[in-house]
Amino acid sequence: MKLTTKYFKADVLAGMVVFLVALPLCLGIAVASGAPPFAGIITGVIGGIAVGYLSNSNVSVSGPAAGLIAIILVAITDLGYQTFLCAVMIAGAIQLILGLAKAGGISSYFPTSVIEGMLVAIGIIIIKKELPHAIGYDVEHEGDFYSYQLIEADKGFFSELIHAFNFAHTGAIIVAIISIAIIVAFNKVPALKKIKAIPGALVAVVAGIVLNEIFISAAPAWEIKDEHLVLLPTADSFDEFLGQFTFPAAAGFLNPKAWVVGITIAIVASIETLLCLEAGDKMDPLKRFSSANTELKAQGIGNMVAGFLGGLPMTSVIVRTSANVNAGAKTKLAAITHGVFLLVSVLAIPALLNKIPMATLAAILIMIGLKLASIKTFKHMWHSGMQQFVPFIVTVIAVVFTDLLKGVGIGLVVSIYFILKGNMKLAYFFKKEKHMNGEIIQIDLAQEVSFLNKAAIKQTLAHLPEQSKVVIDAANTVYIDHDVLELIKDFMNFGSKDKKIAVELRNFKSEYNMEMAT
């Protein structure tokens, strides 16, 4: 996928918003993982610039992932940091091999209901985890704030939030409320919505800094102290900056434990990346398809570079991706820009960034969480039928009360049960031929088309020649799975535009609502 500057202004502004979200995430995840804070910044920069450039996705953003915290913490304790970096490079090499072996196709088999459930669950988790920071409670370990884990051994679902109110801070609450009001205003007020050059999140950050400076001067009791502000590593000289890098020990590659850790990271990181990639494509306003194999190769190269320079392992991250889409990103230039901003911030303005209240960033993330966990999504999945709604709601509950991978796994099991129950004898047959540009391509759907056929149909549509005409005929079809219908709709309304493909649908039932979007 070529880099384009068609949406330069929108992408740069989106990159700025993602940078503001990614900065505390990079630092918090590093601290939670038992690594130097600078390691998180390294991974964020590489995930933004290198992986952003190499990736085939237009909206996905990569960086250190909360889902890997437990693995990293144990590995660093057991192996030591330099040997752990060897494991990160091993994980990257494995991902590169998986991409070259075209193992990324597994992502096409994640049902829409499960992906939608994962997004809603992550939205709920973001809101629940950010609320304590929005009221000024940052006493606990920073990494816990960014964890996907909600249930803890000694705390119930709401206990942590209720406990946080014992430490509520007036200044932080005021900053959070005003930040949310600013973001809502930029989303709802027509006059402000027209100001595309200035995102509401950026205004909220500036307002948060200004408010705290006012508190320091006029209302000291409301001052937000350093421990409740962004904490970015600072260096007094270039040599001191270079001293923050750590390199792997060559002997670590001979350690069998490093290989076990590397394989584990490669598996978990690849699954999380593919899940996020599929979710990112669902959120992409232009509904473009991304290559899972290209993404695995990009992630592999990124992890090898990160491991060599002393960084943490990375994945494509749903929180950053959601922020990217919501901020108006159109191409991968936004992800690259966010990486550039991270790099520049470390080199040039760490003191200014260290004035940003965590309450402001919490407000930004809470608004992202509300968009992900929208009531509209629940209504949409309910109206899609029980076969879609049950796996969706099960995934939501399972992710919220376990973790990302376990929750998605449970959702997949439920989804597969419904698929097998209703579509045990389904089959999809199509004749694949090479066509020249401008020819008419006929695709006749079989009597029953299930979700299991989604990957083949997706690949067929993605490889249609430019300026051709495709006729998709459902004359002999009794049943078409919801995911396949959504795939065809997205291709008809969005995916066919770039290649100037004319799409004609024949004999589709009226209840499928296959009208062309206006």
Instruction: Please report, for the chain, the start and end positions of each structural domain, with discontinuous segments joined by +.
Output: 8-353, 440-512
Neighbouring CB atoms inside 10 A of 371's CB total: 19
DSSP 291: -
* Range list of H helices, 402-453: 404-422
Neighbouring CB atoms inside 10 A of 478's CB total: 12
- The reported pLDDT for the residue numbered 226 is 82
Sign for the CA dihedral angle at 269, 275, 278, 280 comes to: negative
Classify strands 314-316 and 62-64 as parallel, antiparallel or unpaired.
Answer: antiparallel
Q: What's the distance, Cα to Cα, between the start and end of the chain in Å?
A: 27
Domain 440-512, CATH homologous superfamily name and number: STAS domain (3.30.750.24)
Tokens standing for 464?
A: 């249609």
- C-beta of residue 359 within 8 angstroms of C-beta of residue 133: yes
Separation CA 277–CA 296 (nearest Å) = 10
- 473 DSSP β-pair partners: 444, 506
- The reported pLDDT for the residue numbered 141 is 36
Separation CA 365–CA 180 (nearest Å) = 10
What's the pTM?
Answer: 0.68
C-alpha atoms less than 13 angstroms from C-alpha of 342 in its C-beta half-sphere: 31
pLDDT (tens, 9 = 90+) of the chain, 518 residues, equals 566 778 888 899 899 889 988 887 788 788 768 888 889 999 999 999 999 999 989 999 999 987 787 788 889 999 999 999 999 999 999 999 999 998 887 766 778 788 888 878 878 887 887 888 888 876 543 333 333 333 343 455 566 667 777 778 889 999 999 999 998 998 888 888 777 567 777 788 889 999 999 999 999 989 888 888 877 777 777 788 888 889 999 999 999 999 999 998 998 889 889 888 888 888 888 888 888 899 999 999 999 999 999 999 999 988 889 888 888 889 999 999 999 999 998 888 888 888 888 888 888 878 878 888 889 989 988 988 888 899 999 999 998 888 777 888 899 899 888 876 655 444 445 554 555 556 788 888 877 787 777 877 888 888 888 888 888 888 888 888 888 898 898 888 887 887 888 888 988 888 888 877 65
- The reported pLDDT for the residue numbered 389 is 92
Place of tokens 């005021």: 174
- The reported pLDDT for the residue numbered 518 is 55
Report, in this order, helix, strand and coil percent for the chain, each rounded to 5.
65, 5, 30
- The reported pLDDT for the residue numbered 289 is 84
Separation CA 391–CA 388 (nearest Å) = 6
- The reported pLDDT for the residue numbered 157 is 57
In 3D, which of 408, 315, 343, 264 has the Cα closest to residue 57?
315
- C-beta of residue 476 within 8 angstroms of C-beta of residue 446: yes
Sign for the CA dihedral angle at 317, 323, 326, 330 comes to: negative
